[in-house]
Chain A
Amino acid sequence: MAAPQNRILIDARGSFCPGPLMELIRGIRQAKVGEEVEVWSSDQGSRKDIPFWVQKAGHTLVGVFDEAGYARFVVKKAR
């Protein structure tokens, strides 16, 4: 699936907790409100800490998509 033009893609596969979350936060800071950031993570902890952070930070988790050996997290910057 090709990412839309206005989506920042971060491949954090191979990076360990809290690496993928930190990369996501960096991406969200760079993004404009309404834009999406997609982070790829092979770290198990991401399944917990990314949704938790997204909720806490007041953004929107568009979806979590399973792939072979990793998951894609799509987050929309809400503020």
Chain B
Amino acid sequence: MRTPCPNPPPGKRAPVVDTMPNKMSLVVYSGTVDKLYPVAIMASGAVAMGTDVEIFLTFYGLDAFRKGEPQKNQKMDVNYADLGPMLAKLMREKHVPSWYDMLKQAKSMGNVKVHACAMTLDLMGLKKEHLDPIVDDVVGAAEFVDNAAKGEITLFI
């Protein structure tokens, strides 16, 4: 547990966000809303701390970014079929923004790149123009791994 320390002692200024370039890479394999929320929230947290975010969309994660899909996707993990509808209802009642709006906000505030997996696109017979405009480009696994190697955090969701 972190103790909030509002003001660093004089002469011991805390490291400043802007001078701490580092990176968080996310491999997003899942396409259900319950998993896309952590993607958006972790991306927001990273942006808040001045950390770059690289998102690699593959399989169901990429399917969730087909044009029109982020706005209508209601899929929840079947393992939590009993909890899913209740959580969805609570989130609606409490006006929690959608994971997609959160991700868009994070992207507007920091350096968040969204990459589509080239192999999955080929497999599905899709092109970049079939994807939501939040997706920046199409990359291969090797390029993403090479890029992720320069960062400190890598998550598979």
Query: Contact partner of B5 among A26, A51, A79, CB < 8 A?
Result: A51
Q: How large is the interface on B (under 10, 10 to 19, 20 to 34, 35 or more residues)?
A: 20 to 34
The size of the chain A interface, using a CB distance under 8 A, is: 24
Q: Is the interface of B mostly helix, strand, loop or mixed?
A: loop
B68 at the interface (CB under 8 A from A): no
Contact of B13 with A58 in the complex, beta carbons under 8 Å: yes
Q: How far is the CB of B145 from chain A (nearest CB, A)?
A: 28
Name the residue in B14, B41, B44, B48 with the highest tally of chain A Cβ atoms < 10 Å from its Cβ.
B48
Within residues 1 to 48 of chain B, which ones have a CB less than 8 A from any CB in chain A? 2, 4-8, 13-17, 41, 44-45, 47-48
Contact of A61 with B109 in the complex, beta carbons under 8 Å: no
B89 at the interface (CB under 8 A from A): no
Smallest CB-CB A-B distances: 8 pairs: A51-B4, A61-B6, A58-B16, A18-B44, A57-B17, A55-B14, A16-B96, A21-B48
Q: Which residue of A lies closest to B17 (CB)?
A: A57
How far apart sit A26 and B90, CA to CA, in the bound complex (Å)? Answer: 27
Q: Which residue of A lies closest to B94 (CB)?
A: A16
Contact of A55 with B48 in the complex, beta carbons under 8 Å: no
Q: Which residues of B contact A16 (CB under 8 A)?
A: 94, 96
Query: Contact partner of B17 among A14, A21, A56, A64, CB < 8 A?
Result: A56
Q: How far is the CB of A73 from chain B (nearest CB, A)?
A: 10
Contact of B16 with A79 in the complex, beta carbons under 8 Å: yes
Q: Which residue of A lies closest to B14 (CB)?
A: A55
Q: Which residue of B lies closest to A18 (CB)?
A: B44
Query: Contact partner of B95 among A14, A57, A79, CB < 8 A?
Result: A14
B85 at the interface (CB under 8 A from A): no
Query: Contact partner of A55 among B7, B41, B45, CB < 8 A?
Result: B7
Q: Contacts A48-B2, A53-B48 given; indicate if A58 touches B41 (C-beta within 8 A).
A: no
How far apart sit A54 and B8, CA to CA, in the bound complex (Å)? Answer: 10
B105 at the interface (CB under 8 A from A): yes
How far apart sit A17 and B8, CA to CA, in the bound complex (Å)? Answer: 24
Q: Which residue of B lies closest to A60 (CB)?
A: B7
